[in-house]
Amino acid sequence: RNLENPMRGLLCYLAVAGVSAFSPAAAPRVHLGLNAAAPRFAPQLPALSKSRCATLHMQEAAAAEPPAEKDGLMETLTTGSFFALWYLFNIGYNIYNKKALNALPIPYTMATLQLLVGIPYCFFLWTTGIRKAPKLNAGNIKTLIPVSLGHLGTHIGAVVSLGAGAVSFTHIVKASEPVVSAALSAMLLGAFYSPITYLTLLPIVGGVALASLKELSFTWLGFIAAMGSNLSSALRGILAKKTMGGGVGENMNEANLYGVLTILAFLFMLPITLALEPPAAISAAVNAALASGATSGYLWKQSLMAGAFYYLYNEVAFLALGRVNPVTHAVGNTIKRVVIIIASVIAFKTPISSLGIIGSSIAIVGTLLYSLAKSKFG
C-alpha cells in the first residue's frame, strides 16, 4: 500500500507521456491529410485519479508549448537557410561558370563537366547510406529518359547562352520562360489558364523586348540559346506531368530524382560533346588559355567549382521549394533572378543601358505577377 500512490503517479505519467508521443506537437511533421486538431487518443485507466490525471495533462501540455514554438522557429530558420544557400550557390555557379567560359570557350565540354561533377557526390551519399539509394527498373528508366532530355536541353541552352553573352542578359531572357510554358501547356496538354494569367505575359514579353533592344552585350546566339533553354525547361515540366504522375521507382524523393536525371543527362551529353568539341578542339582551347596567361590550376578551379555549385544550387533549390507554398516559391524565384542579375553586373562590371534596366525590371515583375495569377486564378 505504501507503494500504491507512487506507482499510480508513475503509471499516470507514463500514460500521459505515451499519449504525447503520438501528439502533433511531439511527432515529426508528416503530411498525410489528417486534421492536426484531432483529439488525442486517451487510454482508459479507471484506477487513476481523474483530477490527478487532468493536472498532469495540463502540466504536460504547458511543457509541450515551448518545444512547439522552438520547432516552429527552427523550421523557419531551416527554410530561410535553404533559400540563402540557394541564392549563394546560384551566384557562385554563374560567376565561376562565366569565368570558366571566358577562359575556355568550349560550352558543350563545360556543360558535360558540370553534369559529371555532381555524380560522385550522389554515389557517395547512396553508397554510405546517408541517403537511401533509388531503386529503378528498366521501365522506370525508360519513363525518365524524356524528362532527362528536357533537363539536358535546359542546361545546354543556359551554358551556351552564358558563354555567348552577359550573365545578366541570359537571366533577363530566361525570365520569359512562363510565356513558353503557357504556350506549350495549351498545345500539348490542352491546359488553358485564366485570361488574367495570360494578361500577365504581356509585361514579360514587352520587358524582354525592351531589354534586348538596347542590350550592349546582345548576341543572337545568346538570345536563341536562352530561349532554347526556356523551351527545354517547359518541356521537362510537361513531360514530367505526363509520364510521372504516379511516381517512379522507390526512394525517389526530389533530391534523388534530380540525381538520376543528372546521371541520364550526362550519358546523353557525352557523345554530343565529343561530336561537337572533339579532344583536339578541347586541347586547342586549353593551350590558347595557357598561352594567354591562365594557369592550369586556375582553369581547373573555375571549371570544377562551377560544376560543384551547379549541382548544389539545384539540390538546395529542391529542398527550399519543397518547404514552401507556390506563392512563396514565386516570390523566392523572382528575388533569386534579381539577385543574380545584380551580382553578375557587379562581379563582371557589365554595362547595362537605362532601357535595359527598365525592360528587365518590367519582365521580372511580370514573371512574379504571372506566378501569382496562375496560383490564384489558374
DSSP 235-280: HHHHHHHHH-TT--SBS--HHHHHHHHHHHHHHHHHHHHHHHS-HH
pLDDT value for 237: 79
| Per-domain boundaries in the chain | 86-377
Of the chain, the percentage scoring pLDDT greater than 70 comes to 77
Q: What are phi and psi of 135, to 5 degrees?
A: -120, 115
Helix %, strand %, coil % of the chain (to 5): 80, 0, 20
DSSP SS3 for 182: helix
Residue range 55-78: mean pLDDT, rounded: 61
pLDDT above 60 (res 44):
no
pLDDT tens-digit map of 121-176: 999 999 999 999 999 999 999 999 999 999 999 999 999 999 998 888 888 888 88
pLDDT tens-digit map of 174-223: 888 888 888 888 888 788 888 888 898 888 888 888 877 766 677 899 99
pLDDT value for 128: 94
- pTM for the structure as a whole: 0.73
pLDDT value for 330: 65
Q: Are 97 and 162 in contact (CB under 8 A)?
A: yes
pLDDT above 90 (res 95):
yes
Q: How much is the CA Rg of the chain, to the nearest whole Å?
A: 26
pLDDT tens-digit map of 209-262: 887 776 667 789 999 999 999 899 888 878 877 766 567 888 888 788 889 999
DSSP SS3 for 134: coil
pLDDT value for 134: 93
pLDDT above 50 (res 82):
yes
pLDDT value for 262: 93
Cα separation, 294 vs 150, whole angstroms: 34
Mean pLDDT of the chain: 79
pLDDT tens-digit map of 329-373: 667 777 788 888 888 888 888 777 788 888 888 888 888 888 888
Residue range 291-317: mean pLDDT, rounded: 92
pLDDT value for 38: 39
